[in-house]
Amino acid sequence: MAAIKKGAVKMICDNRKARHEYHFLEIFEAGIELRGTEVKSLRAGRANLQDAHCRVENGEMFIHNMHISPYEMGNRYNHQPKRPRRLLLHKAEIRRIYARVREKGLTVIPVRMYFSGQRAKLEIALSQGKKLYDKREDMIAKTEKREVERHLKMMNNER
């Protein structure tokens, strides 16, 4: 078996919809408590973060609605695809997140999932929902940037 570098990062999945729907105020890295076949399924890239969210329950942080497909070669002990999974964060981080969510009405959204070395990590963001006009401004800025790049590319090709 090939050795994996300690700092090597391999992307599993990304929540692109969240970048469009929310402003990220603060980002945290959390480990995930996984069961047997879930890790094999993640290594195959069979996960989905859309519609997933995090909640604090009894002083622990859980991720809900994250879909990890059952492992194809698994047996009858395969995992449930959308079961709540515990996130591994320091107690102080959980308290700080919970206080901000409770007082300001923010939410905790998973942003991306990756392997750091051999451990599965989840990047979560303390987020605030965007208003419709915020989304429009982002789309206009993105369109303008694309047009400028296209124009510069055309100018370079003419030379």
Q: Report strand pairing: 53-57 vs 9-14.
A: unpaired
Backbone angles phi, psi at 103, to 5 degrees: -85, -35
Q: What is the dihedral of CA 153, 154, 156, 159, to 10 degrees?
A: 170
pLDDT at 37: 84
Tokens of 101: 């969510």
Answer for the pair 47, 69: CB distance below 8 angstroms, yes or no. yes
Domains of the chain: 9-130 (2.40.280.10)
Give per-residue pLDDT as tens, 23-78: 899 999 999 998 888 888 888 888 999 989 999 999 999 999 999 888 877 777 77
Strands 22-32 vs 119-129: parallel, antiparallel or unpaired? antiparallel
> What is the reported pLDDT for 1?
41
* Contact criterion met (CB below 8 Å) for 139 and 85: no
- Its pTM stands at 0.76
